[in-house]
Amino acid sequence: MPVLAGCGGPLSSLSPAGPAAAGIAVLWWAMLAGAVLITLLVLALVWRGFGPPVRRPPGERFWLHGMGVGFPLAVLAALVGAGIVVGERLHPGQEPPALRVEAIGRQWEWRFRQPGADGAMVETRGRLHIPAGVPVDVVIRSEDVIHSFWVPRLAGKMDALPGRDNLLRLRADRPGLYHGTSAEFSGAGYAGMRFEVLAYPPDTPPAALARPGPEAGR
C-alpha cells in the first residue's frame, strides 16, 4: 500500500531485526493506536456538537469526566507504562555480552574497534562486525562534537559525547548487513556520516577481522 511505503527500507525502525528494535517498533505502533483513539474521540465530540440532536443525550458527567478526562488519561497512562517497560528492556541488564566493541565518531565518519579472529583488536572504518544471535555491547564515544549512533533495525539511538563513554547493546537475530547513521546534526558533512553493521554467523568471522590495523575500504 502507498500509505505504508515509508515503513520499510534499510533505515526503517518498523522493520526490526533484533529484540531492542522490536520493542521500539511495538511501542511506536502502540503510540499510533493511542493517537488514533484520541483523534476519534475528538472527531466524535465535533460531530456531537454540530450533528443532529440526540433524543436522550449522555449527561454532562459522561462527557466531562468520562470521555473528556478519564479516557485520554487512561490512554496516556497505558502509553507511558509501555514506554517505561520497553525502555527498561533496552538497558544492557544482567546478561553478559558475547563481546564488547567500540564505536568512535568524528566529523564525519565512524571508526570501530572489535576483537579479531586471534583476539587482537582490529580497527575498521565505516563497518562494524558483530556475530549474529548474541548480545554485543557497543561503547560509543566522540573525538570532537556530539554525534548519535543509530542502527534503526537493531536498536535505538545513543549519543556519542566528547569525554564520555555511552553503552548500547545490540543483537541481530540473523546474519545480514544493517545500515546505520548519525542521528545528530554535526556540520556540513553530516548527511554522509553513514555506516554499516555486518552481522556474521558466529562460527565464520569475515576476513576483515583477520588482519590488524585500520581497514581502508569495506
pTM, two decimal places: 0.76
Question: What pLDDT is attached to residue 50?
Answer: 75
pLDDT band at 210 (very low <50, low <70, confident <90, very high): low
Place of cell 577481522: 209
Q: What are phi and psi of 121, to 5 degrees?
A: -75, 135
* Average pLDDT of span 208-214: 60
Alpha-carbon distances of 45 from 40, 64, 117, 120, 211, rounded to whole Å: 9, 11, 64, 65, 67
Q: What's 99-210's CATH class?
A: mainly beta
Count of Cβ atoms closer than 10 Å to residue 35 Cβ: 12
Domain boundaries, the chain: 2-89, 99-210
pLDDT band at 217 (very low <50, low <70, confident <90, very high): very low
Place of cell 505502533: 29
* Average pLDDT of span 148-165: 92
Least confident residue range of 15-29, 183-197, 202-216: 202-216
Q: Under a CB-based contact definition with an 8 Å cutoff, are residues 170 and 19 in contact?
A: no
Cis bond before residue 108 (omega within 30° of 0): yes
Q: Give the pLDDT confidence of 131-148 residue by residue, as tens digits.
A: 999 889 999 999 999 999
Regarding predicted confidence, which is higher, 69 or 105?
105
Instruction: Say how many Å lie between the first and final Cα of the chain, rounded.
Output: 35
Q: Under a CB-based contact definition with an 8 Å cutoff, are residues 18 and 197 in contact?
A: no
Regarding predicted confidence, which is higher, 94 or 130?
130
Regarding predicted confidence, which is higher, 140 or 12?
140
Regarding predicted confidence, which is higher, 58 or 43?
43
Instruction: Round the CA-based radius of gyration of the chain to a whole number and report it.
Output: 23
